[in-house]
Amino acid sequence: MPLAGFALQEIQRLAKIRRIDSPYVFPGRNGISPVNLWEAWRYARQRAGIKDFRFHNLRHSAASYLAMNGASLAEIAEVLGHKTLAMVKRYAHLSEQHTARVVERMNTAIFGKVAG
């Protein structure tokens, strides 16, 4: 997934201070292998009171946020590296609030503003 904005800025900042003896953005203490993020992930979930949530679920979240912000299925497929639009549809989930706004916009376009 491409980086932009704050995430890209942080990676660029880290690149200036990274270990030069390691090819990893987040090297382990030995520099030979990447850092193990499992404990930090488990701790963050525990502190947030989140159960049954895997790191992979964040791909679903990213696809959903992209869709709700106007990205096409083809654009989402490109970002996530999916080869089929069917796979994109499995990942991109629209919130009820989002779909309600879509229907509201359609109704306004067809019937005009309704006094409320």
Look at residue 1 and tell me whether its pLDDT is greater than 80. Answer: no
The dihedral over CA atoms of 39, 44, 46, 52, expressed in degrees to the nearest 10, equals: -90
Question: Mind listing the pLDDT tens digit for each residue in 37-51?
Answer: 888 899 999 999 999
Average pLDDT value for residue range 4-15: 88
Confidence of residue 112 (pLDDT cuts 50, 70, 90): confident
Please, what is the average pLDDT of the chain?
A: 87
- Taking the C-alpha atoms of residue 25 and residue 28, their distance in angstroms, rounded to an integer, is 10
The torsion angles phi and psi of 33, rounded to 5 degrees, stand at: -125, 160
Looking at residue 35, what DSSP letter applies? -
Structural contact between residues 70 and 102, judged by C-beta atoms closer than 8 angstroms: no
Look at residue 116 and tell me whether its pLDDT is greater than 80. Answer: no
How many residues would you count in the chain?
A: 116
Query: Where are the domains positioned within the chain?
Result: 54-116
Average pLDDT value for residue range 68-81: 91
